[in-house]
């Protein structure tokens, strides 16, 4: 069965044709529970997100800040398995018809088996994977199987990436390029920073792939700012924090749905 890379491409193209950025949400699978996490992913998609990244919680999340680390720890303590991640992808996509990617470090895929992981992700209706710690020069095996199963391979670029390195990374990727707005880990911040706009400009010089910006965006005003120069706005920690801070799960679902709506207005310039 083929994955949904075409749906991802079409969704990003549709947002561009509307003269706006796409809103991409991130939530880890298994948080606060497997069923609760599926409900949360559906809520952000129903609230206005165009695309969602489902995180595969990992015991050593080098890119993730304290908010997502806390959520990952809750999921792992709850016994989360890769099968639960696949179920999250399957049910979220089936319920909404929207593109669902998995964001994961390389070690869990390597241990699980690349062929098995890509085949199962495609079967679940997944659109691809974001692989923040997989070096491009070591990615041939992954890309071979991802291509075979119709999955996007999204690499991460950072402000420290030299132009030659950007060209190497973007040539190997598909779907979109994940531009980390600043050096450091995920988390909400007061401002996204000027480094992001420069990184998008330099990345676009190397590729026709959409360039989507993440790390630091937490409200509609910031989403509107980033949407002024990026093809997509990626928001993660703000959604997770809403779930962590909510008095109960129902309130958390309401909060993330509302935040998705606010951010969706932001990327449309309505904030």
Whole-angstrom CA distances from 72 to 30, 77, 104, 113 are 8, 8, 12, 22
User: Alpha-carbon distance 9 to 156, whole Å?
Assistant: 17
Candidates 64, 72, 120, 197; catalytic one? 64
Residue 190 has a CB neighbour count (10 Å cut-off) of 8
Q: Is the pLDDT of residue 188 over 50?
A: no
pLDDT value at residue 66: 83
Q: Token pair of 185, please?
A: 């880990």
Q: Give the tens place of pLDDT for each residue, 105-155.
A: 999 999 999 999 999 999 999 999 999 999 999 999 999 999 999 999 999
Candidates 10, 39, 50, 53; catalytic one? 53
- Is 168 one of the annotated active-site residues of the chain? no
- Is 64 one of the annotated active-site residues of the chain? yes
Assign 69 a pLDDT band (cuts: 50, 70, 90): confident
pLDDT value at residue 192: 55
pTM: 0.94
| Helix residue spans in the chain (DSSP H) | 5-17, 34-47, 66-77, 82-96, 106-112, 114-123, 140-148, 163-172, 194-204, 220-227, 237-245, 249-267
């Amino acid at each position: 069965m083929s994955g949904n890379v075409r749906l991802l491409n079409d969704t990003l193209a549709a947002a561009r044709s509307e003269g706006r950025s796409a809103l991409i949400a991130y939530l880890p699978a298994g948080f606060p529970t497997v069923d609760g996490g599926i409900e949360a992913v559906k809520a952000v998609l129903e609230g206005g997100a165009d695309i969602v990244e489902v995180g595969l919680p990992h015991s050593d999340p080098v890119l993730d800040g304290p908010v997502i680390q806390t959520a990952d720890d809750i999921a792992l303590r709850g016994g989360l398995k890769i099968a639960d991640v696949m179920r999250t992808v399957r049910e979220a996509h089936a319920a909404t018809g929207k593109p669902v990617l998995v964001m994961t470090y390389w070690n869990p895929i390597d241990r699980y088996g690349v062929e098995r992981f890509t085949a199962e992700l495609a079967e679940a209706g997944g659109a691809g994977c974001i692989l923040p710690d997989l070096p491009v020069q070591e990615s041939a095996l992954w890309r071979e199987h991802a291509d075979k199963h119709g999955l996007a391979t999204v690499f991460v670029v950072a402000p420290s990436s030299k132009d030659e390195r950007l060209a190497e990374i973007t040539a190997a990727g598909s779907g979109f390029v994940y531009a980390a707005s600043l050096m450091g880990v995920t988390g909400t911040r007061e401002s996204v920073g000027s480094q992001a706009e420069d990184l998008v400009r330099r990345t676009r010089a190397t590729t026709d792939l959409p360039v989507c910006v993440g790390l630091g965006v937490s409200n509609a005003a910031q989403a509107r700012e980033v949407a002024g120069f990026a093809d997509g706005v990626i928001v993660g920690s703000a959604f997770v924090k809403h779930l962590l801070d909510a008095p109960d799960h129902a309130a958390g679902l309401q909060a993330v749905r509302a935040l998705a709506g606010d951010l969706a207005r932001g990327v449309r310039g309505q904030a």
